[in-house]
Structure 1
Amino acid sequence: MRTSQTFSISFFVRKKKEQSDLALLYTRITVNGKSLEISLKRTIPLDKWNQPANKLKGNSIESRQMNKKIDETRTLLYEAYDRLVKEDQVVTAQGVKVRYLKSDEQHLTLIYLISYHKEKMEKVLKYGTMKNYNTTETYLKEYLKKRLKVPDIYLKQINYQFTLGFENFLRALPKLHNNGVMKHMERFKKLMRLAEDLDWIEKNPTKRFKLHFDQVDMVYLSKPELDKIKNEIFENAVLSINRDIFVFACYTGLAYADVKALNKRHLNNIPQIAHRKKKSTLGKN
């Protein structure tokens, strides 16, 4: 925890060159003795500025509005500073300015979140899981484009209505049944939970959304049924290959993604097994 950190905010004006009776309003932020100025892009009457009080004189509508702007700016700057401290960042005047102007949040969109998840999890999650996330990504992009008419959306703009809208969009797809819809919603919830864990959003809009899966009775092939598939002769070579892969997966218990990931490196012990088997047979003779 930083106990020696110093932070202060002040406001001041500069005369306009063209109009000496008017002034531009600025704020100065100082962190550990180093200062930086930010223009509030406001012009005020120079004679109404009270420098010791850091506000405009009087009770006119103009003074009240400008003083409200000053108070809001001060609050936002303190919030920017407090967030940097909370995140254990190295706090500088430039860092506070960037956070205040929200320029460090310009990429915090849904598509950016998806890209971040893909980059971080591509080597952690299995191929099949990442493939499912890619499909969810495709549906999210379609939802943005077809329903909301936008290519992307800021994370802070995603609310519960967006969540329900995405569910309705998925249910309208002819090839998706309830459990398929729920799996995509589950992945969307995980993405938003990641954004929450990263402090990219203050409130997770998908928390209230409940997943409801239909109970499905698993159907298993009997041994005669599996033998029938195994012994079937197909004229189409592709069907024969697919059959062999399916039967191999049945006998080994490997998932489709694991079978797909198999390569020669995984089969390098087969010649050794065959050699030991041959040697054992010769010994018996």
Structure 2
Amino acid sequence: MKINKLSILFLLDKTKMNKQGKCPVRCRMTYFGKRKLFSTGLFINPDHWHSKYQQAHPPNKENDFINAQLSLIKQQINQAFLLLQYQGESFTVDDIYRKFKGEPESKEKAVLEVFEEHNQRVKKLVGKDYVMATFWKLRQAKELLASYIKFEYKKDDYAFKDLDLGFIKEYEFYLKSEKNLAQATVYKAIQRFRKIIKIAIAKRYLDKDPFILYEVKRPKKQVVYLTPEELKKLEKHNFSQRRLQEVKDMFVFCCYTGLAYQEMADLEPKHIVKGFDGKLWIYISRKKTNRVVSIPLLPPAIRIIEQYKGGSKVLPVISNQKFNSYLKEIADVVGIEKKLTHHIARKTFASTVLLYNNVPMEIVSELLGHSSIKITQEHYGKVVQKKVSEEMKRLSRNFKKQHLKSKKK
């Protein structure tokens, strides 16, 4: 069913037959996957109802009257639907019914209804302000919330006015106990739900923020990346199988550029230009943030580009799934005891290539294309601490050597 399509269907309620052997005709409207069933006030002999054509037959005075009334009801519903569309506001199947009946429109909104409206807005902006992955994640978050509401309250939706801190805490418990989700996944689901709450408050569907006294445990992420020794070991290894050699080269290329998978896959010769310093740079738009990032090409990355020169793309084309699958083989062969994925190349660029070589955090943030330096600090703060610790150990060793030399003298 199309999102903007209204379905109108007339049904007989044969369980409520009257003494004359007639049963009531009911109308069912369906919009946005939600139904509204109501009585038309008309009664008909069930033998005279043609369900396929939605009409009473054979033609006679009584049946003609029923058909005229049903046609009028359908016309009035469609008119109410068009008026609501013309107003440009989001609305529900209940709003259509109220408009049809001439009742005041309800301003009360439900959680999943607003969640779906937000998701559809995001979907329309995919390729402009968002990537498809963002839409899929929001859709998954909405489905998780819907499953909880159905499980806990046996409802298809939940009114904003009934939301409180207890709802959120029980939702978190449900995600952990019933869905067996990891803390990181729970955190993301709660954060996406929180965004819908902020929208509801901004649009005045909700007066108070139920999240005010709520605290969710932020997952402690350990940044996994290749050490300088592991990276060199990988670079030096040559594979006899072409597919593994290509994936290895592409992975190493991203270790020295920090490109995400889609940016690597989209990279064309036109994205590589001479910069203001006469050196080669990558100029490409990040899919996730839609920001243009400028990355200076380091010698190892330039050598890999030279190997694959001549195609419409800078590097061979391979799906993300196959890429990560081949990386597992590569790790086994080379002897790297880490679960290699494409994203580890990006983390290696930030950690081993940049931070371990004393590149300032603000430059790392710029090269990664992060929207804020806080994101970089959040992810790589511990890497910096480790580097500081190593430098202090080195400094301590130097002091000990100097002390020993002075003693000998």
TM-score (norm: length of structure 2):
0.35
TM-score (norm: length of structure 1):
0.48
